[in-house]
Structure 1
Amino acid sequence: MSRLNRFISGIRVLDLTRHLPGPLATLLLADMGAEILKIEGPAGDEIKSLGPQDAAGRSLYYEAISAGKRTLSLDLKVPADRERFLALVDTADVLIESFRPDVMPRLGLASHMLRARNPRLIYASLSGYGRDGPLAAAAGHDANYLAYAGALAGNGSVQESSLFYPPIADCLGSMFGLATILGALYARERDGHGCDIDIALADVIMPLQVFSLAELRATGKQPSRSADLLNGGWACYRIYATRDGREMALGAVEPKFWRAFCERADRPDWISRQSDPMPQHELVGEVTAFFADMSQAECVEKFATADCCLAPLLDLREAVAHPHHATRGLVTRA
């Protein structure tokens, strides 16, 4: 067992979350050594009904996201189960839930009430739109959060926007939840107090758009699909199709990488055009034609020793088998 797996050993976490954002956060806490007790209602987690199942009829999604956790079924509307839950709260370090803001208060389990019982408790709420604001009571999923945050407007083709996969707001919300919980645990070591954390999945997308927000504030310009630096308008940072229907991802942002790419492509005339005005339709067309004349395998071979930030687009099976992921031990079972 590595030291990473013992970072927060002894920390007890009550997990009342569902679907992906909260369970992913607690999965990572479990990887760091925390004891996770997943509290489910009588019907269980809704994710059990989603996606494929194994030979025993168990949800593959649920099994993957619940690894390393214990599960306890409690109906928090039933007095006896509620008392059992409160007894668990008394000795817990962290409680994380993903309900809409009114659910826990209606059950008589509001954060301030639980923290009055256990002042060291870190209560983390990971909901769609947070506890206040006009959307606080609204239902939502990843596509909705991205839409409200303006993130979908600058992605996709000129004709239409496109969804992100994996679900970026859900996953980033997990990371924000993880980071704030770890920060709260550190703060508690110094002052002995727990705290109340309110994270909205719709909020976490804004920090990702820091460059676009800075430009919007300074110039009034906002992202335009396939026309800007990082969404397809810049020839050196773009996805290109190959002759065999596969694709290559070019990320030669720095001039030295763009130069290396152009030199290996035997197109030194492209080097000085990296700073052409955007969208770079003409240059994009020329680079598109270059890639279209080769298969993906030929591209990989041609640029194997060129330090130019060019990578083949792999499918998931290929990615899992890739030497990088195998060496790093990122996927232990797939």
Structure 2
Amino acid sequence: MRILVTAPGARQNDQLYPPDVRNRLETLGEVVWNETGTQYSNSELRDRLRGVDVCITGWGAPTLTAETLVEADSLELVAHVGGSVGDVASDALYEQEVTVCSANHVMAPFVAEGILAAVLSSLRDLSQLDDAMKGGDWPSNRKRRSETLYDATLGFVGLGAVGRNLLSHLEPFDVTVNLYDPYVSADDLADVPWVSLTDLEGALAGADVVSIHAARTPETVHMLDREMLAKLPDGSLLVNAARGAIVDEEALVAELGSGRIAAALDVYEDEPLPEEHPLRDQENALLAPHVAGSPCRRYLADAVVSDIERYSRGEPLENPISRERFELMTRQLECER
């Protein structure tokens, strides 16, 4: 088996590719590491795919378009050390019947944990309490907002693997969840009777907390615009650890500026978040730099190599990405490419 690892410096990255994972990979066949120090261009990747059986991609990898696949005479498996393959795979890849897998299932629990941490920190107002204490104050509950997740009503915008994991974290809090996801049926929710399907407005109206789990697609960009954000009840919390473009940031800044709602954000339309962005001035916004899933990094390559091992033995993969699933995954818009 000939294996190409496209990520630059992967062989020296002990966090993403620990020595034991590299050794396991190298026992499977001839491994070609990207030693150039930069991500391959489309033409460079095209030339390197000749004779390759397995291509391991990562963040920033070129899209495997029909043109890039021209020389891929042996390619059987694309394994992505990351979550969404929306910007890596292509219709052409699936038309050539190449199997695709990723570490999406590994990332989801960690992102869900990060969302829960953001929700609890925001409801308890921990950031402002910490600032006040370090400033010499002794803030009381009479001066500061402090809420609870117990018996709360949550609105989910999208479900996906992250939302599924978050539901497991939320169950002990006896919450009620109203879910908007046009790709989920009532049968899919049979094991969570405290979750109800609704439309987008139904997920927003009446929610103490709204958590976004939708992928970024042309249909979801600015799905939460000024009109939809106005549906959020006074005092509610909007949480976004999915993709920044799903929320109209200009409209969100206006809502936050009014003091009507609060937000906990891990993702933004432009990343890194510009230094002068007005979100940085909102006291009722808890901001993090796209790190909700960061603790998973050391597990990603391990999961992908495990699937390559299964593939080499002719066993079913743990996390294959079907064409239908690929078509619903987050990807860049055409104008951003």
Could you state the TM-score of these two structures normalised by the residue count of structure 1? 0.28
Larger helix percent: 1
- Larger RCO (CA under 8 A, 6+ residues apart): 2
**Which entry has the higher C-alpha Rg, 1 or 2?**
1
TM-score by length of 2: 0.28
